[in-house]
Copies of this chain bind each other. A is one copy, B any other.
Amino acid sequence: MTNRSTKAASRKPEADGEAPPASNRATRAAERRAAIVEAAMEEFIVRGFAATRLDDIAKRAGVAKGTIYLHFKDKESMFEELVRTVIVPVVARLNALPPPTGSVRDLIETFAGNFLKEVIGTRRGDLVRLIVAEGPRFPAVADFYYREVVSRGMAGMRALIELGIARGEIRERDLAHYPQILVAPAMIAVIWQSLFARHAPLDAQDMLRVHLDLIFGERRTT
**Chain A residues in the interface with B (C-beta under 8 A):** 46-51, 129, 131-137, 142-143, 145-147, 150-151, 172, 174-175, 177-178, 180-181, 183-185, 187-189, 191-192, 194-196, 199-200, 202, 206-207, 210-211, 213-215, 218
Contacts and interface: CB of A to CB of B under 8 A. Distances in A.
A142 B195 contact: yes
B185 A207 contact: no
Given A49-B51, A188-B188, 13 more contacts: A46-B136, A47-B50, A51-B137, A131-B195, A135-B195, A172-B210, A174-B213, A175-B210, A178-B210, A181-B211, A187-B187, A187-B191, A214-B215
B172 A218 contact: yes
A166 B177 CA distance: 31
Given A178-B210, A185-B184, A210-B175, A194 B50 contact: no
Contact of A134 (B133, B135, B172, B192): B133
Contact of A177 (B48, B134, B142, B210): B210
A177 B206 contact: yes
A123 B200 CA distance: 27
A188 B184 contact: yes
A48 B47 CA distance: 12
A177 B49 CA distance: 36
A158 to B, nearest CB: 12
9 contacts: A48-B134, A48-B137, A51-B137, A131-B195, A135-B195, A172-B214, A175-B210, A180-B188, A187-B188
Contacts of A218: 172
A63 to B, nearest CB: 19
A181 B196 contact: no
A214 B133 CA distance: 30
A143 B197 CA distance: 11
Given A184-B185, A184-B187, A188-B188, A174 B133 contact: no
